[in-house]
Structure 1
Amino acid sequence: MPAAAQPRRVRTNRLVRKLAVVGTGAAVLALPLIGATSASAATPTATTVSTTPAGYPNTLDGWIRESLAIMAQKGIPGSYNGIYRNIIRESSGNPAAINLWDSNAAAGIPSKGLLQVIDPTFNAYHVAGTSFNIYDPVANITAACNYAAARYGSIDNVFSAY
């Protein structure tokens, strides 16, 4: 390429870059000094883990494990993997999930909760000792597993909407 066609480099670009580097370096050096004064006054806080009334972690893992404990007491079959697989397919682990578009919803009884149970099924298969709230994760899992056991032998045998 001829010299006349090459873009001309401006020398100020080098100066601007140097100033930016120096300014950034000064800011980085000042941050620990600024942060040190406010950080030293901070007091450590205890981390608390939210738990269910039964003492399980208030997470998907804890809800499944609590449900499995109740199911074992009541003779309801099912495994962690079977429950987890169905929850992820049905609600992606959202205990407040509600289906407002399928045939159940069109009939006025939408599927609700982790395992997308309709109210009549939840009421019919509710397990004593769990909440009567269909959105309660443990109650929803346990009732759905009770229904799946009656209809399919176990939640482990469910691989699609049920």
Structure 2
Amino acid sequence: MSKYSFPGHSQLTRVHKASMAGVAALGAAALAVTLVPGQDTQAQAETVSSAPVTYTTSAGTQQIKDVQASVTDQQASASEKAKQAAAKIKAQQEAEAKKKADAEAKAKADAAAKAKAEADAKAKKEREAQEAASRAAARKPVYANNLDGWIKQSLDIMQAKGIPGSYNGLYSNIMRESTGNPNAINGWDVNAQNGTPSIGLLQVIQPTFDAYHVDGTSTNIYDPVANITAAANYAAHTYGSIDNVSSAY
């Protein structure tokens, strides 16, 4: 170990050594100048002071270049990392935007599918209702506009309303009361004398017709079907059935 040492340092760096060598060389040059015979002392001093002193050696220059290269490499690495981070953020943003767009598209598709399903269900329901109406219309009997048709239509209504009676029971009472004339009016019996003459096929007075009128039939007492059905309803409540009536009632 050298007998000269610096506090905190066990070894000298190449830069330090090179600098010291430069100082030593400068001192030797200055000494050589002072030993030249006949040279002015002041001139010697000016020569020494004007001589450039260089402390940088080839090793120090290389070290500086190495540091500069390292800094350049670090800057390039930082720039690359920044580019990678920006690319990653951009990719995440694009992925989120795509996810949002896909969700919106799915929501629209689901809404459209729901609307179509509801429209199809509504159309199916309407179609089924029309088909049912068509079937009902096809099954609905067509009644002749005569005594036979009136009796048959009244019997269908009576059956639907739970009013007892038969074709023969209705027919026999109609023939006895009006001989099948829906416009027949009794103007001489006690009802007529009291101001409420018997009217229609089964000779019903207006108060009785109004009290026993059957929903779904005409409110006109002269209407054949309404007259028969109201009279049959009255007979059912009074005698149990029109079939039980064989005389004026």
Q: TM-score, normalised by structure 1?
A: 0.67
SS, match of residue 236 in structure 2: helix
How far is the alpha carbon of 1:55 from its aligned partner? 2.4
**1:74 and 2:180 equivalent?**
no
User: Identity of paired residues, percent?
Assistant: 74
SS, match of residue 168 in structure 2: helix
Give the alignment of 1:105-124 within 5 angstroms. Answer: 105-124=192-211
Distance of 2:151 and 2:183 partners within structure 1: 16
How far is the alpha carbon of 1:88 from its aligned partner? 0.1
Equivalent residue, structure 2, for 1:27: none
The residue identity in structure 1 corresponding to 2:182 is P
- Deviating 4+ runs (over 6 angstroms): none
**1:136 and 2:223 equivalent?**
yes
SS, match of residue 115 in structure 1: coil
How far is the alpha carbon of 1:92 from its aligned partner? 0.2
Distance of 2:150 and 2:161 partners within structure 1: 16
Structure 2 unaligned residues grouped into runs of 5+: 1-140
**1:96 and 2:188 equivalent?**
no
How far is the alpha carbon of 1:153 from its aligned partner? 0.2
Aligned match of 2:170 in 59, 73, 83? 83
Distance of 1:124 and 1:85 partners within structure 2: 24
Structure with greater helix share of residues: 2
Distance of 2:174 and 2:222 partners within structure 1: 13
SS, match of residue 58 in structure 1: coil
The residue identity in structure 1 corresponding to 2:147 is L
Distance of 1:109 and 1:64 partners within structure 2: 25
Give the alignment of 1:41-60 within 5 angstroms. Answer: 55-60=142-147
Equivalent residue, structure 2, for 1:127: 214
**1:160 and 2:237 equivalent?**
no
State the number of aligned residues: 110
Distance of 1:81 and 1:55 partners within structure 2: 20
Aligned-residue RMSD, C-alpha: 1.2
Distance of 1:100 and 1:122 partners within structure 2: 17
Deviations 1:71-128 (A, max 9, x none): 0000000000000000000000000000000000000000000000000000000000
Equivalent residue, structure 2, for 1:64: 151
Deviations 1:32-59 (A, max 9, x none): xxxxxxxxxxxxxxxxxxxxxx720000
Structure 1 unaligned residues grouped into runs of 5+: 1-53
Deviations 1:126-150 (A, max 9, x none): 0000000000000000000000000
Which is bigger in relative contact order (C-alpha 8 A, separation at least 6)?
Answer: 1
Distance of 1:92 and 1:120 partners within structure 2: 22
